[in-house]
Amino acid sequence: MTTLTDDTLSVTPRAMRDELIAFAVMALLLASVPFTGVYPFFVMQALCFALLACAFNLLVGYGGLLSFGHAMFLGTAGYCSAHALKVWALPPELGILVGIAAAFVLSIITGFISIRRQGIYFSMITLALSQLLYFIYLQAPFTHGEDGIQGIPQGRMFGIFDLSKPTVLYYVVLVGFLAGFLLIFRIINSPFGEVLKAIRENEPRAISLGYRTDQYKFLAFVLSGTLAGFAGALKVFVAQNASLTDVHWSMSGEVVLMTLVGGLGTIFGPVVGAFVIIAMQQYLAGFGQWVTVIQGSIFVVCVLTFRRGVIGEIAHYFRRSL
Amino acid sequence: MQALYAQLLVGLINGSFYALLSLGLAVIFGMLNIINFAHGAVYMMGAFVAYFLLNLGGINYWWALLLAPIIVGIFGMILERTMLQWLTGLDHLYGLLLTFGIALIVQGVFQNYFGSSGLPYAIPDQLKGGMNLGFMFLPVYRGWVVVFSLVVCLATWFLIEKTQLGAYLRAATENPTLVRAFGINVPRMITLTYGLGVGLAALAGVLSAPINQVRPLMGADLIIVVFAVVVIGGMGSIMGSIITGFALGVIEGLTKYFYPEASNTVVFVLMVLVLLVKPTGLTGRAA
Amino acid sequence: MKQRFSALLLGVALGFVASGASAQDKTVKIGVLTDNSGLYSDLGGAGSTLAAQMAIEDSGLAAKGWKIDLISADHQNKPDIATTIARQWIDVEKVDIFMDVLNSGVALAVNNVVKEKNSILIDTGAATSDLTNAQCSPNTVHWVYDTYMLANSTGQALVKAGGDTWYFLTADYAFGAALERDTTAVVQKAGGKVLGSVKHPLNSSDFSSFLLQAQASKAKIVGLANAGGDTTNSIKQAAEFGIVAGGQKLAGLLLFITDVHSLGLNVAQGLNFTETFYWDLNDGTRAFAKRFSERMKNKAMPSMVQAGVYSGLIHYFKALEAMGGNPHDGAKAVEKMKSMPTDDPLFGQGSIRVDGRKIHPAYLFEVKKPSESKGPWDYYKLVGTVPADQAFRPLSESACPLVKK
């Protein structure tokens, strides 16, 4: 049995340098968006999904655990942030914290339940758990069912930044995304990340080396879930609503697709994948009927012939780590 | 008390669908080590094929019961030959992703051509009407579903556990190389097994066509519940998945009576409880 | 310094040109935001875009020097996708007016964007009565129907016809609860009695347990306070359990002709529910429906949502003509639309209230027996009519801030 990703290069100074250069290029590109005439709301939405996909990738690409229920963290954080902002009238920064805290608690509970089973079972359990939450949110009064939480006030971040201005909002979202991204980057390159990769490659060996692999996997799950929650909280400011679509299983599927397209277990892959998929959704909106068929086809093509994803293929071609 | 009997019986009917679907999943998983995410989509195809047979070919329900699983089973075998077999040796998760993609394509295409609201399929004349059991009015068709699916489940169990062919199948799961050394064509057996599992799902689709609307998304949500059923039961044993299927249907039926608000979630809650107590599932081996 | 001054001059000059142009600006861009692929694509979808196209052609504005563009997109029933499309349409595509926008969650989200950006929303597909109640907006008109109206007319008309005991099958979420609550109020006010209700989870595939309970209640009317696949499945299974054959009547509280079409008359016969448009109502509707179905891919007759797109745009065009040009000011155009009475062959005469509610008569239909139907799409018998002023939520009960009390 081969693992999800092939030849991961070990962290050499050169790999580190490549990744930092790539990061700088990405940050510069994204920071210049408001000056290019590209529609900022589109990019903001893509950034939220990119962060979500990165968080998801932390779990699957480095921990080898394919969660099919990551929408539950996105949606839970979204609902809780939205509720905090609208009903409790908290300032934006506290609203985000409420969302992150909710995702944190949820990931501890669901992690405790799901981490007991491996492989395919883990995927099915996370899917079932997220479906359970979907039904709960559908019936819970505070989510307003199908109507969702609407018209969420954007307010002023730290009392200074007026988030109702698109450019200000854009940079706040961008900073949030970059912070989350750097954190994930840091985790991957930490000793903890190395152990995680060792577990993914060969769990029995890691156990025999004395690592309590379940604890490592649990921690990865909680980190991933909490960061996904951060993405969900940011998304509330962009969309100004929180709705059931964010907890539905099809959203979990989309996250998987983004990461797969960009490259499982690559650092920048999920970002590229998120932009590709969101762009596709926007520009194929006119085609309507065929979107799901196209998404399905991408899944099939990726799995059969393109398992490294866009970034994975590039990295492989140039023998670089990205 | 009378109402309770009625709910038990109604629960058994739903259990039949769970049993047929989780049985198919278990058969496929045993042989291919793949969780077939496209199971909901092939279930839907079964119902659609029955609809086409009736409306385009004038072929009635009874023939559809035989033909639809074969047609969809062949479709499944083509999928296995052209796509799934290339995943041998890769991580299991790729099988999940591939079948998920196939499910999206199939559902999307059907939605494109037949809309979302669904098509009607009438109950066959011989099974129309109902009988008064004293405690409830039981539509004849529902009784038929329970009996027929029970027979099919037991026949499948017999085929796999008690026949020569089943012995080969089980052996090939344990040690494919050795079985191949005996001159048995293992890849062909895998293909046939996938066809069998998919055919069982299509059969469930035909059975459900007269009860539910024939809709492109009829299997999409159902499959998640069936996944939970499979996690509860464990996929190690054929009989295990049949029994858990029926049992969960009954439990769900009872919930509908005592606390209807929770009847959608009860299977998932049970799954959580089972995982906390016995992480490998009720009958499963460790995965 | 000099440069800056000339830039200022240029700006002022451009400003004059722009403001001068708006007086006789005769360009309009219409955006049909609908569900092209999901659950409601038969109800709106391509048919809504066709209805908009027909409204543009029938308005005859092109001959009078107007330039009208039409774009459409699929909101995939996702509020976040819908808001991004809506913002982009307003900011980049310069769309003046949003049509269709079915799905309540999506409609409320777009409603907010439209209000913020002073655009126009004529919603013909969403059910939520909040659009003209607590969340009403000076930029939004709710055209065809809403949950309050459906509950109100179905309840009223059925009690009048002798259906005075009710049992509800209610989808267990806010929408179902609202339908049940509103209908219960109407039924009790009209002298009827509600014997009980059972809540079922959303997207159930099996309704037999709930139907058994409804059957045991012996109520004359079984009210279906659910939507979409839940409604069609419960109707289908009710036929199987012999509910209608046993003398009970089914009342759908949110049901469309597309649902009846997909169920088939065998199963749907005897069903009662309310719509505000039916293609076979009078000569005007028949003429429109004939032209419409000839141009549809599957020869379908128009649903009330699609008819609403046509009717709403015709009224919008009349308002534009009366103003002599497109002001590109949503609130102003809606103000004008509210001040003019509406009249078109599809919905007859009506008006738009101050809260944005378009009012017109509501019709209670009963689905024909297969033997009574003369052909495809010949499905309804008219059972009763509720006049426009009684069908919708009275302004005195409104929570809309636009209503001055």
Mutate to test the interface with A, among B85, B93, B96, B111 (most CBs of A within 10 A): B93
Answer for the pair B275, A113: CB distance below 8 angstroms, yes or no: yes
SS3 content of chain C, % helix, strand, coil (to 5): 45, 20, 35
Q: Tell me, yes or no, if B157 comes closer than 8 A to chain A by beta carbon.
A: no
Lowest-pLDDT range of A73-82, B19-28, B109-118, C1-10: C1-10
Domain boundary assignment for chain C: 27-145+281-359, 148-278+362-391
Give A302-312 pLDDT, tens digit per residue. Answer: 999 888 888 88
Distance of alpha carbon B85 from alpha carbon A164, whole angstroms: 53
pLDDT, position C71: 93
Helical spans, DSSP H, in chain B = 2-32, 39-57, 61-82, 92-114, 140-162, 164-174, 176-181, 186-208, 222-233, 238-258, 266-277
Residue A8: per-residue pLDDT: 46
Instruction: Give the residues across from C97 on adjacent strands.
Output: C30, C120
Give me the residues paired with residue C225 across strands.
Answer: C170
Chain A residues inside the 8 Å CB shell of B97: 66, 256, 260, 299, 302-303
B269 contacts in A (CB within 8 Å)? 132
Please give the pLDDT value at position A287.
65
C42 touches C64 (CB < 8 A): no
Q: CA distances (Å), C282 to each of C52, C261, C346, in order?
A: 21, 20, 9
Judge whether C27-145+281-359 and C148-278+362-391 match in fold: yes
CA dihedral A282, A287, A290, A296 (to 10 degrees): -20
User: In chain B, what is the straight-line distance between the N-terminal and C-terminal CA atoms, in Å?
Assistant: 42
Q: Per-residue pLDDT tens, chain C, 405 aa: give them.
A: 444 444 444 444 444 444 444 457 889 999 999 988 777 888 898 899 999 999 999 999 999 999 999 999 888 888 888 888 899 899 989 999 999 998 888 999 999 999 999 999 999 999 888 899 989 999 999 999 999 999 999 998 899 888 999 999 998 877 888 899 999 999 999 999 999 999 888 777 788 888 888 988 899 999 999 987 789 889 988 988 888 888 899 999 989 998 898 888 988 988 999 999 999 999 999 999 999 999 998 889 999 999 999 999 999 999 999 998 999 999 999 999 999 999 999 999 999 999 999 999 999 999 999 999 998 899 999 988 999 988 999 999 889 999 876
Do the beta carbons of residue C95 and residue C119 sit within 8 Å? yes
Token pair for C371: 């033997």
Digit-by-digit pLDDT tens for chain A (322 residues) are 344 544 444 456 777 888 889 999 999 999 998 888 788 888 999 999 999 999 999 999 888 899 999 999 999 999 999 999 999 999 999 999 999 999 999 999 999 999 878 778 899 899 999 999 998 998 888 888 777 888 888 888 888 888 888 889 999 999 999 999 999 999 998 999 999 988 888 888 888 988 888 899 999 999 999 999 999 999 999 988 898 889 999 899 999 999 999 998 899 999 999 999 988 887 776 666 678 888 899 999 999 988 888 888 888 888 877 7
Are the beta carbons of C240 and B123 separated by less than 8 Å?
yes
How many inter-chain contacts (A to B, CB under 8 Å) are there? 130
CB contact under 8 A, A288 and C36: yes
| Reported pTM | 0.85
In CATH, what number does C27-145+281-359 get?
3.40.50.2300
Of A138, A235, A289, the CB nearest to C37: A289
Contact A240 C91 (CB under 8 A): no
**C148-278+362-391 carries CATH number 3.40.50.2300:** yes
* Confidence (pLDDT) at A88: 93
Residues B80-107, mean pLDDT to the nearest whole number? 89
**Cβ–Cβ gap B97/A303 under 8 Å:** yes
Q: Coil, strand or helix: which one is C29?
A: strand
pLDDT at A285: 63
Closest CA to C370 of C301, C270, C246: C270
Q: How confident is the model at residue B217 (pLDDT cuts 50, 70, 90)?
A: confident
Rounded distance between C-alpha atoms, residue A223 and residue B260, angstroms: 36
Which residues touch B229 (CB under 8 Å, ≥6 apart)? B18, B21, B22, B241, B244, B245, B248, B267
Q: Which residues from chain B sit within 8 angstroms of residue A120, using beta carbons? A: 29, 35, 92-93, 96, 287
Whether the Cβ atoms of residue B18 and residue C224 lie closer than 8 Å to each other: no
